[in-house]
DNA sequence: TATTTACAGAACCAATTCGGTCCGATATCC
DNA sequence: GGATATCGGACCGAATTGGTTCTGTAAATA
């Protein structure tokens, strides 16, 4: 199947919720704990906790342990792309296994489509890297088809704006 | 995981192989049987057979039964988009389950990212619909980043060229 | 017409993956 | 020192996937 896992789906919902609820960056003051977030988003606590841990390990969130601890965004929503969220939760964005890098494809000799797939992957990656967390929580975004503008910038040679420099 | 199934991967390899080997359209003369194709692509015969059946059911291939039968492309490679191949093998291209249409998402009330996901899906779909089977077997394609040109056309309001009219 | 070839369709099974839970350890606040 | 909350695993049942097998049917050929 082409769709991504529920964990990734939930994770993006959580990030959007965090961005909406605490626009400020990750100080202790703006952090929310897993139980609180779970009830707000209406998902089981262990699941939310697991997702938040993954996002923290990937550097998307910051964690504060101990009493009054919790999670908060590690970056501004404008600086967090959809590609990075998906990568953090689901691994690298690659449509075919040949493009995963590490493992060797045993059909390499007879495989005629390796390079084209790489181009396709690149296009998908770039289109998704043009959409940021800030876009996701912007109500006027969906109506405007905004990601296309970032694609336009990409086509003119400009790197996607969400890229961390 | 964001990647697509092995079946889809194999299927596209098979289609590319067919397009390379028999550029002409689906007359009996240009058809190849499952066993032959399986040995050429170096995959188990039952797997190849299963994939070819799916592609036939989806209208991507034509089948000829009986002795000297086999499979052949139902359309010219230029008229077959990657989106259609993936759809035929893996179902509709949709990244999150909320976008699958039929089933109802139980978190709809607290879900803040439904519309943005639809936009993202659309961008992915259009970028993939701009790449055709003919592109996949064109050696100079990968170097040129050709899919971007179709994205450019899309952004100017033109429908993707691979769409069947 | 009998035989051979090859697709059609469905059931089937083993293995991997995924969604979700649980627990001991560690760090922080009061 | 006690309470709170994350960290990092292991863990399990269920769903999906990759792959096989079998019976039926259509077409070509002798």
* pLDDT 10s digits, B61-76: 999 999 889 999 999 9
pLDDT single digits (tens) A107-137: 555 555 555 566 667 777 777 888 888 887 7
- The predicted model scores a pTM of 0.76
Q: Check residues 57 to 116 of chain A and report those whose beta carbon is under 7 Å from nucleic acid strand D.
A: 57, 63-71
Q: What is the crossing angle of helices A34-41 and A6-21, to 10°?
A: 100
Q: Hey, is the C-beta of B110 within 8 angstroms of any chain A C-beta?
A: yes
Q: Hey, is the C-beta of B137 within 8 angstroms of any chain A C-beta?
A: yes
pLDDT single digits (tens) B78-136: 999 988 998 898 877 666 655 444 445 555 555 555 555 666 677 777 778 888 888 87
Identify which of B9, B111, B146 has the shortest CB distance to residue A96: B9
Helix, coil or strand: residue A63 = strand
> What is the residue-wise DSSP string for A70-93?
EEEESS-GGG-BHHHHHHHHH-S-
Chain B residues whose CB is inside 8 A of the A107 CB are: 13, 41-43
Q: How far apart are CA A93 and CA A83, in angstroms?
A: 7
pLDDT tens digit at each of 165 positions of chain A: 466 788 888 898 899 888 887 655 544 447 889 999 999 888 999 999 999 999 999 999 999 999 889 999 999 999 999 888 988 888 777 666 554 444 455 555 555 555 556 666 777 777 788 888 888 777 665 433 444 444 443 433 333 333 222
How far in angstroms lies nucleotide C11's C1' from the CA of residue B46?
Answer: 15
Q: Which two tokens stand for residue A100?
A: 């995963």
How far in angstroms lies nucleotide D3's C1' from the CA of residue A88?
Answer: 32
Average pLDDT over every residue of B149-154: 42
Instruction: List Cβ neighbours of B139 (8 Å cut-off, separation of 6 or more).
Output: none
Q: Closest residue by Cα to the C1' atom of nucleotide D5?
A: A66
How far in angstroms lies nucleotide D16's C1' from the CA of residue B40?
Answer: 29
Q: Which nucleotide is nearest to A48 (CA to C1')?
A: C20
B13/chain A closest Cα distance in angstroms: 6
How many CB atoms neighbour CB B141 within 10 A? 18
Q: Which residue has the tokens 């910051």?
A: A62
- Angle at CA of residue B93, ends B142 and A122, nearest 5°: 25
Determine, for residues B113 and A147 on separate chains, whether the beta-carbon distance falls below 8 Å.
no
Task: Dump strand ranges (E) for chain B.
Answer: 61-64, 70-73
Q: Which nucleotide is nearest to B90 (CA to C1')?
A: D17
Classify burial at A156, counting beta carbons within 10 Å of its beta carbon; exposed 0-12, middle 13-18, buried 19 or more: exposed
Q: Is the pLDDT of residue B149 over 70?
A: no
Identify which of B2, B93, B135 has the shortest CB distance to residue A93: B2
Q: How far apart are CA B15 and CA A75, in angstroms?
A: 44
Q: Which of residues 29-58 of B touch A (CB under 8 A)?
A: 40-43
């Amino acid at each position: 199947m082409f769709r991504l896992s529920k964990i990734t789906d939930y994770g993006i919902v959580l990030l959007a919720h965090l961005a909406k609820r605490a626009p400020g960056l990750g100080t202790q003051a703006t952090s929310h704990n897993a139980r609180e977030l779970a009830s707000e988003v209406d998902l089981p606590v262990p699941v939310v906790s697991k997702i938040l841990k993954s996002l923290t390990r990937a550097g998307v969130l910051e964690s504060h342990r101990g009493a009054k601890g919790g999670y908060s965004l590690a970056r501004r929503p404008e600086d967090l792309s959809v590609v990075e969220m998906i990568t953090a939760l689901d691994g690298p964005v690659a449509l075919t296994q040949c493009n995963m890098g590490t493992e060797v494809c045993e059909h390499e000799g007879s495989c005629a489509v390796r390079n084209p797939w790489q181009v396709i992957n690149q296009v998908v990656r770039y289109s998704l890297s043009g959409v940021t967390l800030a876009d996701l929580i912007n109500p006027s975004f969906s109506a405007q088809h905004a990601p296309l503008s970032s694609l336009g910038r990409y086509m003119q040679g400009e790197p996607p704006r969400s890229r961390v420099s």
